[in-house]
């Protein structure tokens, strides 16, 4: 019996060849979309990762003020760390371009020369690939740098400059303006001695951990390497150090001198105190020697001969009373003066010795207090005033290096978009095929009933009706896979990545999961869906199948009184074909999901481009390494501090920016508060934050978390920013009242390059924001094209099913004399309302659904996610739906003309 049924499969395929070809192309197109996007993304993700490992990419790198000593290098290497000096010099090239020169690498970040050979002799140079392509430089050309002529012996790529940025802070790659070069060690030393670089030599060490240490342990170890400011040759750093770190030394020196002086004072007072008793003894001796002489003077005047230290004032008064003549008075006056002098001397000595005791006690306390002050101040300064000059200048691990692995990160969006599109398409064509199968069962209902009567089992028929969809789906999946893997597929999708990142030409690869996804998932989905549908429709009785009995519905019970005949007929026809009409709507919804995926991508890219232009109000942003004490004239100062936050599994760098009130470049509505902050719209959209929400940011440098409250959201789509009042921020993080490290201006400022970490211009921001549109353009175009084709095919097939199901009444109406125009009005024009009304509903629903899905697809993109559509875009999509409907409707009129009255004879009982 299966042999007989297989013959019917071939006949079914021939009779509906165009339908199955359209369905075949639909599946091929869907699988091509999946394969081309996902295979391209996987090829770059895996290929760049393998290349990086092959070229021994660094685990990280660190910048130092002065080169490590041989002892320090050996100490790190003994701990299992592999080190390599990757010092470099930056030189100006023609038209303001910059070239960074390294000496040849030997241990890690090895350069792969795609063309030519390695620089091995004097006067030879290898240039980075994208710089050469952008500036039309070829091997064998002469390249002049710093007045010295080099021969370009090779064009290559380095894994640590996959995204060749001049600074980690750069938002995009500009290979026309910046490139890297590699020369021999001897040539590098010659360039160094010429002293023509635009800034001093940068001391950078690349390292590989080798599983012996962690990044954190290495960083802590490097912080223990102290360096004297006198050993640093950078004049800008020296000046910065004198204004900052040297103040600490002066403060500590002053406290040390105070402590030393207090100790000396204490010693002196202690010695003076020791002579107090001796001084008192001498005083008493002097007094006792004077008393006898005074005693004689008293005796000569008939006074008592007892005179002591305690009673001489009393006797002095008696002596004054007895004086009766001038001579006596003179003598007595001398005695009186003598006694007064003795008393004053005695009192002064007593007061002095008491003061010496107090001063000695005080100086002892002063010495102890200043010693404690010295100890505590040293601890406080070391802990809270990070002016200690360790040699570590910057430490960057591989995962935080925006120049490494950038191409793979960029392709994650394409990968997710392809997989999501594949799921949507799988659901769509599985449902479409089920509609075809149902239509075939209904059309051949009498035949199926007869087969049942002859003893054919339900399972035999299920296998029969599953065979063609399964074979068709598998064949289309194979074809779609083949087209996706050909040069028109994944290879084409990879070209935009090659035009931006500095990566080698990679072979197109297809992971096992993609093979299973493309070749087997469509077949499995088709079999499961159709098995459930077919089993249900074959569960009718033999008699009902042979009579083609239709399931009774309540369509005819719907009251349509008061309407014109044509309107009533169209409504009843739509209700009768409700399932097929639903399929049209479902196909429209699935197609619009893909459309909305592409349009969301387009809108986001355009919003980033346009909003970046509007939101970037400065012309120049200067990031300082060594700020001056005074802000350059014409500039506005800011205080920037870096934080991190994990969002949807990704760790993001968040910049907190201290701004002033009514700031001209960042008009954030900040208030004097250490708790309340204003966040950028990009950060709010990415983290789903609203006014009043709590926000926790992590400071990995200090290993601390800070909690803030979102006071307001400022329109700023360029980056992930948090804004705070600059004075509050300085106070919160313990900086000076006039501290800053960012300056913005509306004109170019005269700032020495040695003081700066980077310069960002408005033009660079605009070019960087346009990169998204340029890179996503091909994918957006492909998604729109594929979705439009899917929409046309699904609508055509479903509306054609409606006509096929109505072939008997259409033939009958032709016999009754109805013209084609009238038949179209009755059977086709009613579908316009399904498409017109359903289009609005499906478009709105698809947009809402994709807006919820899309943020997860771009979780690795550090920009705002503005997915707002303008009314013109909605109108354009809707107009396209209506236009495509009329095109399909026009084609289907030809199908109506092909229906003849013979259909009535075919269906007679």
pLDDT digits (tens, 9 = 90+) for 379-414: 555 554 555 567 888 888 998 888 898 888 878 877
Per-residue model confidence (pLDDT) at position 753: 72
Gap between the Cα atoms of 245 and 256, Å rounded: 17
Would you call 335 exposed, middle or buried from its count of C-beta atoms within 10 A (0-12, 13-18, 19+)?
A: buried
Query: What are the residues facing 465 on neighbouring strands?
Result: none
pLDDT digits (tens, 9 = 90+) for 732-778: 988 888 888 899 998 888 888 777 777 788 887 777 677 666 666 77
Gap between the Cα atoms of 846 and 869, Å rounded: 13
List the structure tokens of 429: 């064509």
Residue matched to tokens 């990031």: 623
Element (H, E) at 126: strand 124-128
Among 419, 464, 523, 597, residue whose Cα is nearest residue 27: 523
List the structure tokens of 781: 């175009």
Cα angle at 567 between 563 and 571, to 5 degrees? 110
Inter-residue contact 633 to 639 (CB < 8 Å): no
SS3 label, residue 62:
strand
Element (H, E) at 705: strand 704-714
In the chain, count of helices (H) and strands (E)? Answer: 28, 20
Inter-residue contact 729 to 658 (CB < 8 Å): yes
Per-residue model confidence (pLDDT) at position 390: 75
pLDDT, averaged across the chain:
78
* pLDDT band at residue 131 under the 50/70/90 scheme: very high
Evaluate if residue 184 carries a pLDDT over 50.
Answer: yes
Burial 101-127 (b: 16+ CB within 10 A, else e): bbbbbeebbbbbbebbebbeeeebbbb
pLDDT digits (tens, 9 = 90+) for 833-883: 778 888 888 888 988 888 888 777 776 666 667 788 878 888 988 898 888
Model pTM score = 0.69
Tell me how far the alpha carbon of residue 526 is from its chain's centroid.
40
Tell me how far the alpha carbon of residue 238 is from its chain's centroid.
34
Among 137, 134, 182, residue whose Cα is nearest residue 161: 182
- Helices of type H across 231-325: 235-243, 245-274, 276-299, 312-322
Gap between the Cα atoms of 172 and 719, Å rounded: 12
- Detail the DSSP E strand segments found in 49-87: 60-64, 82-85
pLDDT digits (tens, 9 = 90+) for 20-48: 888 888 888 888 888 988 999 999 999 99
pLDDT digits (tens, 9 = 90+) for 323-371: 544 444 555 555 556 656 655 655 666 666 666 666 666 666 666 666 6
- β-strand pairing of 650-659 with 721-725: parallel
Long-range contacts of 732-741 (CB under 8 A, 24+ apart): 732/674, 733/641, 734/384, 734/385, 735/639, 738/629, 739/627, 739/639, 740/624, 740/627, 740/631, 740/637, 740/638, 740/639, 741/623, 741/624, 741/627, 741/638, 741/639, 741/640
Measured over the CA atoms of residue 302, residue 305, residue 306 and residue 307, the dihedral's sign is: positive
Q: What secondary structure does DSSP assign to 131-176, as a single string?
A: HHHHHT--TT-EEEETTEEEEEEEEEE-GGGSS--SSTT-SS--TT
Inter-residue contact 217 to 209 (CB < 8 Å): no
Among 807, 834, 792, residue whose Cα is nearest residue 575: 834
Cα angle at 569 between 563 and 573, to 5 degrees? 135
Query: What are the residues facing 260 on neighbouring strands?
Result: none
* pLDDT band at residue 101 under the 50/70/90 scheme: very high
Among 80, 84, 87, 76, residue whose Cα is nearest residue 60: 84
Per-residue model confidence (pLDDT) at position 152: 94
Give the CA-trace dihedral at 344, 346, 348, 352, to 10 degrees. 180
Nearest-Å Rg of the Cα atoms of the chain is 46
Gap between the Cα atoms of 758 and 743, Å rounded: 11
Evaluate if residue 471 carries a pLDDT over 80.
Answer: yes
Q: Give the side-chain half-sphere CA count within 13 A for 356.
A: 19
Helix axes 2-15 and 17-54, enclosed angle (nearest 10): 90
Among 212-216, 265-269, 630-634, 870-874, which stretch is predicted with the lowest mean pLDDT?
265-269
Phi, then psi, of 332 in degrees rounded to 5: -65, -35
* pLDDT band at residue 109 under the 50/70/90 scheme: very high
- Could you report how far apart the first and last alpha carbons of the chain are, in Å? 26
DSSP 490: I
List the structure tokens of 244: 């900052």
Query: What are the residues facing 868 on neighbouring strands?
Result: none
* Average pLDDT over every residue of 420-428: 79
SS3 label, residue 620:
strand
Per-residue model confidence (pLDDT) at position 105: 93
Evaluate if residue 141 carries a pLDDT over 80.
Answer: yes
Which of residues 331 and 177 earns the better pLDDT score? Answer: 177
Q: What secondary structure does DSSP assign to 406-421, as a single string?
A: HHHHHHHHHHHHHHHH
Among 276-280, 431-435, 450-454, 890-894, which stretch is predicted with the lowest mean pLDDT?
276-280
* pLDDT band at residue 305 under the 50/70/90 scheme: very low
pLDDT digits (tens, 9 = 90+) for 799-824: 777 776 666 677 777 777 777 777 77
Gap between the Cα atoms of 802 and 826, Å rounded: 12
Gap between the Cα atoms of 291 and 505, Å rounded: 117
pLDDT digits (tens, 9 = 90+) for 486-519: 888 888 888 888 888 999 999 998 889 999 999 9
List the structure tokens of 372: 């404690």
Evaluate if residue 186 carries a pLDDT over 80.
Answer: yes
* Average pLDDT over every residue of 142-165: 92
Measured over the CA atoms of residue 470, residue 899, residue 833 and residue 790, the dihedral's sign is: positive
pLDDT digits (tens, 9 = 90+) for 518-576: 999 888 888 888 888 778 777 776 666 666 555 555 555 566 666 777 777 767 766 76
Among 167, 24, 302, 7, residue whose Cα is nearest residue 758: 167
pLDDT digits (tens, 9 = 90+) for 204-253: 999 999 888 899 899 989 988 887 666 666 666 666 666 665 555 555 56
pLDDT digits (tens, 9 = 90+) for 647-695: 776 777 888 999 988 899 999 999 999 899 999 988 888 888 899 899 9
Query: What are the residues facing 452 on neighbouring strands?
Result: none
What percentage of the chain carries pLDDT values higher than 70? 72
Evaluate if residue 170 carries a pLDDT over 80.
Answer: no
């Amino acid at each position: 019996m299966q042999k007989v049924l297989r013959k019917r499969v071939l006949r079914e395929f021939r009779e509906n060849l165009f339908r199955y070809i359209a369905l075949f192309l639909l599946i091929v197109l869907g699988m091509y979309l999946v394969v081309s996007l996902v295979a391209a993304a996987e090829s770059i993700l895996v290929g760049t990762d393998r290349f990086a490992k092959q070229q021994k990419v660094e685990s990280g790198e660190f910048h130092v003020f002065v080169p490590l000593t041989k002892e320090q290098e050996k100490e790190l290497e003994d701990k299992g760390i592999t080190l390599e000096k990757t010092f470099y010099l930056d030189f100006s090239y023609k038209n303001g371009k910059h070239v960074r020169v390294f000496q040849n690498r030997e241990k890690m970040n090895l350069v792969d020369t795609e063309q030519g050979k390695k620089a091995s002799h004097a006067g030879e140079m290898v240039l980075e690939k994208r710089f050469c392509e952008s500036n039309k430089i070829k091997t064998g050309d002469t390249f002049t740098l710093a007045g010295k002529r080099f021969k370009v012996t090779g064009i290559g790529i380095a894994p640590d400059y996959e995204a060749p940025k001049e600074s980690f802070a750069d938002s995009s790659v500009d290979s026309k303006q910046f490139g890297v070069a590699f020369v021999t060690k001897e040539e590098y030393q010659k360039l160094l001695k010429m002293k023509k670089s635009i800034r001093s030599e940068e001391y950078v060490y690349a390292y590989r951990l080798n599983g012996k240490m962690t990044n954190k342990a290495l960083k802590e170890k490097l912080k223990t390497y102290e360096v004297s400011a006198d050993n640093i040759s950078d004049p800008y750093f020296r000046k910065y150090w004198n204004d900052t770190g040297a103040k600490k030394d002066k403060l500590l020196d002053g406290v040390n001198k105070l402590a030393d002086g207090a100790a000396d004072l204490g010693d002196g007072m202690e010695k003076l105190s020791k002579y107090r008793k001796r001084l008192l003894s001498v005083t008493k001796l002097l007094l006792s020697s004077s008393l006898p002489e005074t005693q004689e003077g008293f005796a000569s005047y008939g006074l008592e001969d007892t005179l002591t230290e305690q009673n001489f004032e009393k006797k002095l008064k008696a002596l004054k009373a007895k004086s009766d003549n001038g001579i006596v008075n003179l003598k007595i006056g001398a005695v009186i003066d003598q006694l007064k002098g003795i008393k004053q001397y005695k009192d002064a000595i007593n007061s002095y010795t008491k003061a010496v005791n107090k001063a000695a006690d005080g100086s002892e306390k002063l010495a102890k207090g200043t010693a404690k002050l010295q100890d505590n101040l040293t601890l406080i300064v070391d802990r809270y005033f990070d002016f200690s000059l360790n040699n570590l200048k910057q430490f960057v691990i591989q995962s935080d290096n925006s120049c490494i692995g950038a191409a793979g990160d960029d392709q994650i969006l394409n990968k997710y978009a392809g997989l999501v599109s594949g799921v949507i398409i799988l659901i769509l064509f599985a449902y479409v095929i089920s509609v075809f199968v149902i239509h075939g069962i209904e059309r051949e209902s009498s035949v199926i009933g007869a087969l049942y009567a002859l003893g054919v089992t339900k399972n035999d028929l299920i296998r029969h009706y599953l065979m063609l969809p399964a074979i068709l789906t598998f064949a289309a999946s194979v074809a779609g896979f083949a087209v996706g893997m050909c040069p028109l597929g994944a290879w084409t999708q990879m070209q935009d990545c090659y035009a931006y990142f500095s990566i080698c030409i990679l072979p197109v690869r297809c992971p096992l999961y993609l093979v299973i996804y493309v070749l087997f998932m469509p077949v499995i989905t088709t079999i499961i869906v159709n098995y459930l549908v077919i089993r249900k429709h074959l569960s009718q009785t033999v008699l009902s199948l042979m009579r083609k009995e239709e399931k009774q519905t309540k369509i005819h019970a719907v009251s349509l009184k008061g309407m014109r005949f044509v309107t009533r007929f169209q409504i009843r026809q739509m209700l009768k074909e409700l399932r097929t009409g639903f399929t049209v709507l479902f196909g429209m919804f699935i197609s619009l999901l893909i459309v909305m995926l592409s349009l969301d991508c387009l809108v986001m890219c355009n919003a980033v481009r346009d909003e970046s232009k509007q939101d970037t109000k400065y012309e120049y942003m200067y990031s300082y390494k060594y700020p001056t004490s005074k802000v350059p004239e014409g500039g506005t100062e800011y205080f920037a501090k870096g934080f991190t936050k994990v969002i949807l599994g990704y760790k993001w760098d968040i910049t907190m920016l201290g701004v002033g009130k009514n700031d001209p470049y960042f008009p954030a509505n900040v208030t004097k508060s250490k708790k309340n902050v204003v966040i950028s719209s990009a950060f709010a959209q990415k983290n789903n934050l609203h006014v009043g929400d709590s926000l926790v940011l992590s400071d990995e440098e200090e290993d601390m978390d800070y909690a803030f409250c979102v006071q307001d959201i400022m329109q700023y789509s360029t980056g992930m920013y948090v804004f705070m009042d600059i004075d509050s921020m300085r106070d919160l993080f313990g900086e000076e009242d006039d501290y800053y490290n960012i300056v913005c201006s509306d004109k170019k400022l005269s700032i020495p390059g040695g003081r700066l970490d980077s310069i960002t211009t408005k033009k660079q921001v605009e070019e960087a924001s346009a990169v998204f549109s340029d890179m996503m353009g091909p994918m957006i175009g492909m998604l729109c094209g594929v979705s439009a084709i899917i929409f046309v095919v699904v609508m055509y097939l479903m509306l054609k099913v409606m006509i096929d199901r109505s072939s008997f009444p259409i033939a009958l109406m032709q016999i009754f004399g109805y013209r084609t125009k009238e038949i179209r009005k009755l059977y086709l024009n009613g579908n316009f309302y399904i498409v017109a009304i359903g289009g609005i509903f499906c478009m709105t629903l698809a947009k809402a659904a994709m807006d919820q899905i899309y943020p997860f697809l771009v979780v690795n993109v550090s920009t705002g996610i503005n997915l707002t559509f303008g009314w013109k875009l909605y109108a354009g999509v809707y107009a396209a739906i209506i236009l495509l409907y009329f095109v399909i409707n026009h084609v289907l009129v030809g199908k109506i003309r092909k229906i003849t009255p013979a259909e009535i004879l075919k269906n007679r009982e």
